[in-house]
């Protein structure tokens, strides 16, 4: 029996769900449907299928987010391949295939985006098992979504007539409305889901035939990779020097061995707020809510709230409220949120990249107040974790412990602080904050000085390999 190894692609930094999804905390790490993130839900969906633990391919900047969310599931420790720069799906999958074969195996790879919704996990698992024999024989299988509308936001796959798994006739780009309707009327066309199943070695053979330049670059980057615990850090120079291309363009549209299995599994790529509304549970008036929301005389709307949000007399709107930004949009125009993000980037505003609460490998900080020459943060340090040994040129800091125990390095002094105790870190003094306890450390930090930016950090030691 051929072994199956899932590959979860988690390298995206999409912003179509701004202000909730941002570059530093993209949608795969968000609990958009239930209590767990899309990455966690994807893991649970594939875990019963795999003979080998899933591989995760993640952006370098998201490595600790991915590791922590999988740790929360109690998942077997996976290898997490780190992309130093984004190069699209073909190089990412090639790196995963090389990692899967590194131990002498040639498993079947089930390649999945980690930011999609599949509401019928059982039907998905049945489909994967049905496609495995063909993949074992050398087919490159993709899963086509049975369309229920003339969708213009997806590419399509035209398949040979018949039932079940069949040969791909062609891949087609995102159509206009009239063309999409013609596909729906004709039948035999399916949405391109971006989910694949094939033998690792077979994919590399096809990539070598059609895009040897991609494979060569990834081989060099993989051979020079650094292993850091569970992280496999692809060599940056080699990986960045390689071409960027999708698996569709690089292989699937060129190979003679592409097959498609049509599936009806409650799939969505959750590519916009309106798409999220479509897959969410709705009340009798068609409203979908997440959080503390009251709707009065409102219909077919979506609201995501961290604080209480009230909708009164509105139809077909999206309201998303976060700590530092609010989106209000007509549901049929939510794709234009990308213009907001573009403007934020052009103005170099932090809301394009970061939330007010920023996650770090040691925990998180939340900037709860800021003014002229001061900033107040709520800091959480995980048990056993430590910030870097560092120094600031432009600010001093006051630390007040709210709960837990803090071990503080301040110059030559080592302090242990408990609840309601505090210390002062003068400007220019080396310092470190650690949590030696078994429960999270909570403290309030008050910064004061002429410059309070995050780039005013000189690191001397860091257990997470950060510099600068």
The first and second tokens of residue 254, run together, are: 């060129």
Is-cis flag, bond preceding 19, omega within 30? yes
Per-residue pLDDT band for 50 (boundaries 50, 70, 90) equals confident
Element (H, E) at 380: strand 374-381
Using the predicted structure, report yes or no on whether residue 92 has a pLDDT greater than 60.
yes
Q: Tell me, what's the pLDDT at 411? A: 95
CB 10 within 8 A of CB 59: yes
Task: Note the pLDDT of residue 282.
Answer: 96
Alpha-carbon span 87 to 89, nearest angstrom = 7
pLDDT at 60: 87
- Quick one: pLDDT band at residue 383, thresholds 50, 70, 90? very high
Domain 4-267 classification at class level: alpha beta
Asked if 4-267 and 357-461 have one fold, the answer is no
Report the C-alpha gap between 346 and 57 in whole angstroms.
29
Distance CA 15, CA 12 (A): 9
For residue 327, what pLDDT band results from cuts at 50, 70 and 90? very high
Contact between 384 and 434 (Cβ < 8 Å): no
Locate the domains of the chain by residue range.
Answer: 4-267, 273-341, 357-461
pLDDT of residue 467: 61
Q: Which tokens in the block code for residue 308?
A: 């209480």
pLDDT surpasses 90 at 468: no
Mean pLDDT of the chain: 93
User: Rounded to whole angstroms, how far apart are CA atoms 191 and 153?
Assistant: 9
Q: What is the pLDDT of residue 398?
A: 97
Instruction: Answer yes or no: is pLDDT of 13 > 60.
Output: yes
Instruction: Please state the pTM of the whole predicted model.
Output: 0.89
Q: Assign 1 a pLDDT band (cuts: 50, 70, 90).
A: low
Average the pLDDT over 406-420 and give the result. Answer: 96
97 three-class SS = helix
Given this structure, which CATH class describes domain 357-461? mainly beta
Residue 74 in this model has a pLDDT that exceeds 90:
no
Q: With a cut of 90, say whether residue 246 has pLDDT above it.
A: yes
Give the tens place of pLDDT for each residue, 426-454: 999 999 999 999 999 999 999 999 999 88
Tell me what pLDDT residue 33 has: 87
């Amino acid at each position: 029996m051929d072994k199956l190894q899932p590959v979860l692609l988690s390298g995206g930094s999409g912003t179509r769900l701004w202000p909730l999804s941002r570059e530093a905390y993209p949608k795969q790490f968000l609990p958009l449907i239930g209590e767990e993130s899309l990455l966690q839900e994807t893991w649970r969906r594939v875990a019963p299928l795999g003979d080998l633990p899933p591989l995760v391919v993640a952006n370098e900047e998201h490595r600790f987010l991915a590791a922590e969310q999988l740790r929360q599931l109690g998942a077997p420790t996976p290898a997490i391949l780190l992309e130093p720069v984004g190069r699209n799906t073909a190089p990412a999958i090639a790196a995963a295939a090389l990692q899967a074969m590194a131990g002498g195996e040639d498993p079947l790879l089930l390649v999945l985006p980690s930011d999609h919704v599949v509401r019928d996990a059982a039907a998905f698992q049945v489909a994967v098992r049905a496609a495995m024999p063909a993949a074992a024989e050398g087919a490159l299988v993709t899963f086509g979504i049975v369309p229920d509308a003339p969708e213009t936001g997806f590419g399509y796959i035209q398949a040979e007539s018949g039932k079940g798994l069949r040969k791909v006739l062609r891949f087609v780009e995102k159509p206009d409305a009239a063309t999409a309707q013609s596909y729906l009327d004709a039948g035999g066309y399916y949405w391109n889901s971006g989910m694949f199943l094939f033998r690792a070695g077979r994919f590399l053979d096809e990539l070598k035939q059609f895009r040897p330049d991609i494979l060569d670059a990834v081989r060099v980057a993989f051979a020079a990779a650094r292993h850091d615990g569970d992280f496999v850090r692809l060599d940056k120079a080699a990986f960045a020097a390689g071409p960027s291309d999708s698996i569709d363009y690089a292989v699937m549209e060129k190979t003679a061995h592409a097959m498609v299995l049509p599936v009806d599994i409650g799939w969505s790529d959750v590519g916009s707020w309106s798409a999220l509304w479509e897959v969410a549970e709705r009340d009798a008036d068609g409203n979908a809510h997440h959080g503390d929301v009251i709707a009065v005389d409102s219909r077919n709307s979506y609201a995501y709230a961290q604080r209480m949000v009230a909708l009164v007399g509105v139809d077909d709107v999206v309201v998303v409220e976060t700590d530092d930004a609010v989106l209000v949009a007509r549901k049929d125009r939510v794709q234009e949120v990308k213009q907001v993000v573009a403007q934020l980037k052009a103005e170099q505003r932090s809301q394009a990249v970061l939330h007010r609460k920023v996650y770090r490998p040691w925990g998180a900080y939340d900037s709860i107040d800021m003014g002229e020459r001061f900033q107040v943060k709520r800091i959480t340090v995980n048990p056993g974790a430590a910030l870097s040994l560092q120094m600031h040129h432009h600010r001093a800091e006051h630390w007040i412990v709210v709960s837990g125990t803090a071990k503080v390095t301040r110059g030559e002094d080592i302090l242990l602080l408990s609840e309601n105790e505090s210390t002062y870190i003068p400007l220019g003094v080396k310092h470190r904050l650690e949590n030696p306890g078994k429960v999270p450390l909570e403290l309030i930090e008050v910064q004061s000085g002429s410059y309070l930016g995050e780039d005013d950090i000189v690191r001397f030691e860091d257990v997470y390999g950060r510099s600068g």
